[in-house]
Amino acid sequence: MSYDFDKVIERRNTNCEKWDAMGEDVLPMWVADMDFEVLPEILEAVKKRAGHAVYGYTRFSDKYYDAVISWVKRRHNWNIKKEWIVYSPGIVTGLNLIVKALNQVGDKIIIQTPVYYPFFRAIENNGFRVLRNPLKFENGKYKMDFEDLEKKLKDKRVKTLILCSPHNPVGRVWTKEELKKLGDLCLENGVTVVSDEIHSDIIYKENEHTTFGAISKDFENNSIVCISASKTFNLAGLRTSSLIIPNKELRRKVINVIESIGNAEPNAFSECASVAAYNHGEQWLSELMDYLKENLNFMKKYISENMPYVKVIEPEGTYLAWLDFSALKMDPRELHEFILKKAKVWLDEGYIFGDEGNGFERINLACPRSILKEGLERINKAIKQSKE
């Protein structure tokens, strides 16, 4: 079967965060959801559930747990158990709950900047302190700075490290060797790893994602792995994710916090959509990855031919790309305002991912190629006009 990723879906006037938050003359390529129709089996499952016409309180059945367990085994070679899976209404919500469960006010939490900006909020809004372990940018590629990490892990107020794997926004798919080195350092210093793996299914073929908890029993026992069908199958609005917590004591702490806020049940459509995605979505995902790779190649070619001063930091995973505009020599906020107001394209401004993102912008490639082409043409035209 072949799916139509070129089809343009009108998303305006649907209360869409991405398309309805700005004027109609702005092309949104920022927030990480896709402009593609969902897998047909997902749509049918949701329609069937909607036809029941009673939307009361909901719980997961074994169908959900079996689908998650099977997907993680097939795709990521990790044998997980039903009791390890804890529901959260989204991974960002889950991260907020996890840091509250594992830390005390004043504790420090390590993140590897430039990184997904809700990490900062999850830490600081809950009374904790951010401790940055910036990635090193060498020869056009990002790497972990293990020397700096080792020093910071020795801080007695550090109890948790939040790992972004694959990394958003720089697109790195960490190797097993990199993850093992990080995990060993965290074990040596008694620091728990919280691995955000929401993009773990969006991996380009020449790379391989390694699930942190699958590396060893010690890592399994010292980590919380966060996954969801939301990025893979465009289900973010259904507010469902799974926190995989093998360690019974860590799991108890997290569940206690979840129950304390009274938000422990999924919505009526969470299970049917997720089960359909995990049980029927592999061919759709395969074709999606081919299309995303073609989009990436199209963008690289367009930029090379028309905007060679813009550098593409090629992603190994995720449907996002990190673009280096530093050659334009604009202040970070000036750069974003220029692209938003002159080019009329809404990208995610690099500086919100940390100071290391100054001069960069993040673009979402999960859209029909016609939209991607229009966005690139708008940016190119605005830059050319500014140079005249």
Mean pLDDT, residues 226-237: 97
The mean predicted confidence, pLDDT, of the chain is 96
One of 1.10.10.10, 3.20.20.140, 3.40.50.2300, 3.90.1150.10 is the CATH number of 27-31+282-387, namely 3.90.1150.10
Please tell me whether residue 10 adopts helix, strand or coil conformation.
coil
Q: Return the domain boundaries, the chain.
A: 27-31+282-387, 53-280
Assessment of whether the complete model's pTM goes beyond 0.75? yes
Give CA–CA dist 123/103, Å, rounded.
10
* DSSP conformational letter for 106: T
pLDDT in tens, 133-165: 999 999 889 999 999 999 999 999 999 999 999
pLDDT in tens, 252-271: 999 999 999 887 789 999 99
53-280: CATH topology is: Aspartate Aminotransferase; domain 2 (3.40.640)
- Asked whether the predicted pLDDT for residue 62 surpasses 70, the reply is yes
pLDDT in tens, 74-124: 999 999 999 999 999 999 999 999 999 999 999 999 999 999 999 999 999
Q: 237 with 229: CB under 8 angstroms?
A: no
Kindly state the percentage of the chain with pLDDT values over 70: 99
- Asked whether the predicted pLDDT for residue 343 surpasses 90, the reply is yes
Considering only CA atoms, give the Rg of the chain.
21
Q: Would 27-31+282-387 and 53-280 be classified into the same CATH topology? A: no
Give CA–CA dist 273/44, Å, rounded.
9
Report whether the peptide linkage leading into residue 166 is cis, meaning its omega lies within 30 degrees of zero. Answer: yes
pLDDT at 132: 98
Please tell me whether residue 269 adopts helix, strand or coil conformation.
coil
pLDDT in tens, 274-305: 999 999 999 999 999 999 999 999 999 999 99
DSSP strand pairing (108-111 vs 129-132): parallel
Alpha-carbon distances, residue 67 vs 38, 70, 262, 270, 272 (angstroms): 18, 5, 26, 13, 11
pLDDT at 264: 75
pLDDT at 1: 60
Give CA–CA dist 160/98, Å, rounded.
10
pLDDT in tens, 4-40: 999 999 999 999 999 998 889 999 999 999 999 999 9
Residue 157, both tokens: 């107020």
pLDDT at 77: 97
Mean pLDDT, residues 344-372: 97
Q: 205 with 294: CB under 8 angstroms?
A: no
Nearest to 192 by CA among 222, 237, 149, 220: 222
pLDDT at 336: 95
